[in-house]
Structure 1
């Protein structure tokens, strides 16, 4: 899906689940967001690549309401996961996570648990993305080494004498979000942000 945010209303006592999937098949890496869980006392974000990892937690009673719709929003632009109350993006944030191994969200799934019935109204809204630079910046200025990332789609494999030239190639290709470089073989692998599966890897991740 093209959008990178959702503004929505939910009516019910507790346990609103929103899962952001890297694949439309609902397999592989995902972010799992719970609003008003554990009897409307706790909300959280967890990330799954090979195993589920809790990445942010918020304790607060009564975010949800058994008798009225409550407004919430979620955004996931450039790996910055944000969850807030109200109907204005980036205001009243109560959950956040910045992921250096982020992936494109292909599917959003809503559900509930523990026998709760919820009613939802969604208002999709895309966030504005900033223009990319096409300059040949150095690795330490534009990229950071990230570990335990999901495996990403390969855009291109080329030979380059140094890693800075590999970084430069990634910067000028629109959908390149990172690269891997082997200084022994001088092989440069350019990567998108489409996660293929949950196999862990490391890469130089573009800082945007």
Structure 2
């Protein structure tokens, strides 16, 4: 799936459940997060990220020296919507607040997505509102002893679940596995030709993959934001999107 379809999708939708405390209380909190490396986002190759966030309060972002969110690695914890949705906190690995700021008119919201950005070049961690890096800065803090940020993880806690939209380039390609069916939540089910099933998925922002039944021509579009799980079934084809040359659940 290349050519004109290559740049259709640039968003990854992620749902995070309530996973309770911050790093101040639980040193293993980063391991509870949803790592973004599975979507091909390698933080050591980047210096910023922007996203939309729908959460009432207390959404956590981890900038970690570990690609897989190992809790023993150096990490910064960012809390979006602390203080009942009104503040941003930046914490060091030991849970100490090193900076904080007020969100003002961009408080986190239970019902709609609010845009934010984070950058981390040369140990200078900035957090801002909107989707334009270095504009509407809320926190600007420089670590005197910085580390290389290899991975990013996200989660929500203190009674909040959340939805995230990350702007990550999709390649327009799928990793396709025969004799397999994805068992995640479905967005839609329809009867189409085999070629049309992945095309439908490409055009739906929250579609992370598809199932296609070779006998009945049923096409199932798979929802994003959850772990990819599958079962063996000879009648089905399972396809997952590729993001920045990394394909989800590619066997």
2:143 alignment partner in structure 1: 99
Of residues 49, 53, 78, the one that matches 2:96 is 53
Deviation at 1:29, TM superposition (A): 1.0
When normalised by structure 1's length, the TM-score is: 0.55
Q: How many residue pairs align between the two structures? A: 123
* 1:5 equivalenced with 2:59 (yes/no): no
* 1:113 equivalenced with 2:151 (yes/no): no
1:40 alignment partner in structure 2: 85
Unaligned runs of 5+ in 2: 1-41, 170-251
1:30 alignment partner in structure 2: 75
* 1:80 equivalenced with 2:121 (yes/no): no
2:60 alignment partner in structure 1: 17
1:168 alignment partner in structure 2: none
Deviation at 1:44, TM superposition (A): 0.7
Report if aligned partners of 2:86, 2:108 keep a CA contact under 8 Å in 1. Answer: no
Partners of 1:29 and 1:73 in 2: CA distance = 21
Higher relative contact order (CA 8 A, sep 6+): 2
Deviation at 1:22, TM superposition (A): 0.9
Deviations 1:2-52 (A, max 9, x none): 11211100112111110111122422211000011131132110111xx33
Deviations 1:73-131 (A, max 9, x none): 00001101000000100000101211121111111010011121211001159xxxxxx
Report if aligned partners of 1:5, 1:124 keep a CA contact under 8 Å in 2. Answer: no
Partners of 1:17 and 1:52 in 2: CA distance = 13
Higher strand share: 1
